[in-house]
Each structure stands twice: as C-alpha cells, then as structure tokens.
Structure 1
C-alpha cells in the first residue's frame, strides 16, 4: 500500500523543470540571433534546431511552430524591457523612453531584429502583424492618456525610424535624438536618463531608362519587375523565391535568369523602378517651404501608388543587414535624403523661418525618421494614421509661419 509523501518540495520541483527552462531559453536566444541576422521569413525551425545542436523533433517539444517561438520572443522582450524601465523611471515618461532607448542600443541584436520585424510584420499574414498593430494602438493611446496626445504617433514613429536608420549610419544616437526632441518640445530633463544604462556618402546615381532588348523583351522584363515588386513588398526579398515570381508572371525561372542573371540583379531593377515612380529631380533645389510642401504632397499621394510604401518599408527594414544585396542602396539613399532635408532646414534657419533653438542636423534626421516610422504605423493601421497630416503638424511646430496648403 503506497504511503503519502506530501507535496513536492519547491526546490526539487524547480530542479526538475530547470533543464526544460534552460533549453527553452537557449532556443529563444538562438532564434533571436538568427532572426536578427537573416530575418524571420528566411529562418526555419530546422535551422534553429541545428544551431542549438538538437533535433527538429526536440524543438517541437517546446514550441509548436516558428510562429509560436517568435511570439514567445516578442512577449519576453516586452516584459523584460518594461520591467527594467519601470524600475528606474516613471512609466511612460520622457525619461522612461530615453532610458529604454539607451538600454535597447546596448543589447546585441535587439535593434536589428526589431527593425527587420516591423518591416516584415506589416504583411497581414505575418504571425506578429496583429500583435504589433495592437501594440502601436495601445502605445498611442497611452501617450494620449498621459497628456501627450498631440505627438503620440509621431514620437513612436520617429523612434522606429531612427532605429532603422542607425543600422545604415554609425552616427545616429537614438537616445540622444529623443532627449533633444523632448528638451525642445516639452522642456524635458530627459537627457539625464542617458546616464542610466543596463550594465551590461555619395548621392545615389540617377536611374537610367531601360533601353535593352526588343519591345517584347522589355515588356516581359517590366512584368517580371512588377511581380517582384509586389512579392517583395508582401514577403521581403529573402523569403521570396525566383520560382514564386515566375509563377506570378506565368513564365519559367530560367526566363527570369535570362533577363536579369540573378535574384540580386532583379532586386536592383525593382529598386530602380521604385525610384522612377515618384521621381522629381528638382525637389532638392526648391525653396525650403516649397521643398516641404512637396514632401507632404508625396506623402499624401502615396496611396495612389499601390504597394510603393510596402515595398520601401519591407525592403529598407530587411536590408539593414550589412550583407543584404540592397544594403548599400539604402545606405546611399538615407545619406542623400537626410542631406537634402538638413539643407532645407539650414535654408529655413538662414531666412529666419526656423524656430529658435532648432538644429538643422537634428531636424533633418528626425524628419526622415519620422516619415519612415509613420509609414510603418500606417501599414499596420491605415484608418488611424494620416501620414501627411502628421508630417504637417510636426512642421508647424518648427516654423514661425507655418506653410499653407
């Protein structure tokens, strides 16, 4: 007859489950590393298992799918980050955001993984799409509740944009830029949070018109580029195969290789086509107010170019990896775009139209980051975000005499 031994001892129970918890943590760590380097779409559970040194079947004991693993990683990030920041600052305060930005910048792989994720997850079928859409809504609502309704979407957007740009430019100080913004707009002392941390380019060439081949060949190339644009916008470059593009066009993979030679060359053609669509060679030379009016017009007309925002956002986030075939393209593009915006703000300052205390270098970088971040939020929640209106509202806070129209 068995005898009762009472409830298990807590220490023994912890030891019993310790190996499982350790293995789960290892898988999360490996997934973080691989997702940051290659993007979520290009990594399989088998790849994660091989890196962890276990079988695919063993991974399935801890996570039913790659989607579940990603969501576990997301929830873990958010909980750890919030706990760290809440322990040091008033939750949601300017100091809280600057301190958290400082901590994120010190975490290996965090910024690259987050940047790639927000681009890829704009696709509605991505496993993190609904989670991030709710997260952006809740963050904006929280800022409104604590009294920052006017720039709730803009602060989050600029922060996201700065994280992406920092992976192309070494001179971007994300927490410093946030602290400067808060000090100018709110008289905040958030710069003090910079002392608290977890211990732990040449202009792009003008696109050339494609004159190669006969008319039928040019038409075929155009259809291939259009299909690639659509699929790259939906899934990113790495997760889209030439076979999928061929199927969409109704041709063979060998035909694509005949016209472009490689997937990387096709990507170059897609990016060239993307730059041709909104092309306006005279924009940078416009007077500063006209320059910014043109920028807002571009933002307002973006929805008339189906897939263009998706293509840009997905690829600019995915190409943050230094070995991505589009990395140098976006690095040059950011250099040129930021330079043009800094020059426009310098002209505003020279004419006395820029608000006192505003730094053209900061404002040029911030404006580009803001625009890119707003596009991300718009892709998750187009009914809640008006990109042109947010850009205009930001500019009105910078100019003594806000532009009309």
Structure 2
C-alpha cells in the first residue's frame, strides 16, 4: 500500500529507516533499491530521486545511525562530559533497538571486504572512537588500570566487548543480558582495589 506523502525531510527519513531494515535483513550486497522502494511505496526512481545511488543511501543510513547514538552520548554526565556511565546507557538504549543493532553488526562485518563502500566509514569510525574512549577512560580511571592496562589498550577492548555482546544478544536475546554484562565489564576495569599487585587510588 502506498503511504501518504509527507514533507521532503520526513520522506527522506522514511526511506532511510526502510533501508536500515533491509540492510539489517540482507546486508548491503544482498539489498536492492527495489526492495527498499517497495517498503515505502515508491518506485526505484522515486528512491533515487532522494538518494542518487545505493552507495549514497548506505552513507546516509550510517550517518543516521551514528546521529541517533550521539544523541545518547550527548546526555550530560558530570560537568556535561561523556562518562563510562553514559556509554553504559548507550548499550542499554541499544537493547531497545534490535533493527539498528542488527544493521550495524551486518554492515560492519561486511565492511572488512576489500572495496566495500562502508569500509572507510568503519575504519575511520573505529579509529576516532578508540581515541575518544581512551580519553573517557583516562579521565575517569587514570593512566593505569587493572593488570597494568593503559587507557589506549582498554579502549579497543571496550568496543570488542560492546560489539561482541551485540552479536551474541542478536543470536540469543533471552540468554544474553547485554546491558548487565557490559556493566559487569566496567566493574572489572574499575576494580583497582581488588586487583592483585595493584595499589588503590591515591
């Protein structure tokens, strides 16, 4: 059934959300403009009027996904700064958005393929994310963490845990408490007092 046409911006977002679903279900390579157009009651040319290529549509989907996560990361922590609790809130928020988590997991996995159109996006995104995560960890926990980890070493581990939990949660949502397990991992990073061979904070 053809949906009622709204404003240009609302129509663009409708197409992006439909594309997000299709990419989540089929991956980028398996998705088609035709299948996305069908979801929103448009012709292929109708979709291409808003997004001139499949690559451009993918780029806008990824931008929308990150914008929505940044809305959560913009929640004020102490002094308005992003904190580890803010990051944990993002994990909790993602547990309510299966489609977005699924699309991110599928597209990020596909992006390791040479010449994939999302490869540069994810490579840059992870590099930038590791840098700001290291600063968040340093500001909250200092320069030395349990087992002698540095913030720069802990940052990629943080994303490995987040992404790995997302994958396992998608496969077994009734068995994996994504938010609870992530907070448990944060507790390990903060457990300086109980870590063998490490002194407590001064």
Interval of TM-score (by shorter of Structure 1 and Structure 2): 0.7 to 0.9
1:3-402 map, 5 Å: 216-280=7-71, 282=74, 291-350=83-142, 354-355=145-146, 357-400=148-191
Point out the structure with max Rg over C-alpha.
1
Residue 283 of structure 1 contacts residue 291 of structure 1 at CA under 8 Å; is this kept in 2?
A: no
Per-residue Cα deviation, 1:31-65 (whole angstroms, up to 9, x for no partner): xxxxxxxxxxxxxxxxxxxxxxxxxxxxxxxxxxx
1:389 deviates by 1.2
C-alpha change, 1:329 and 1:351, in structure 2 (3 Å) is closer
RMSD: 2.6
1:345 deviates by 2.5
CA distance in 1, matches of 2:124, 2:143: 29
1:337 deviates by 1.1
1:257 deviates by 1.3
Deviation larger for 219-228 or 247-256? 219-228
1:346 deviates by 2.5
Per-residue Cα deviation, 1:270-293 (whole angstroms, up to 9, x for no partner): 111111212246479967x96111
Q: Secondary structure at the match of 1:304?
A: coil
User: What TM-score comes out, normalization by structure 2 length?
Assistant: 0.82
Aligned residues: 187
Structure 2: runs of 5+ lacking an equivalent? 1-5, 194-202
C-alpha change, 1:265 and 1:362, in structure 2 (3 Å) is same
Q: Secondary structure at the match of 1:278?
A: helix
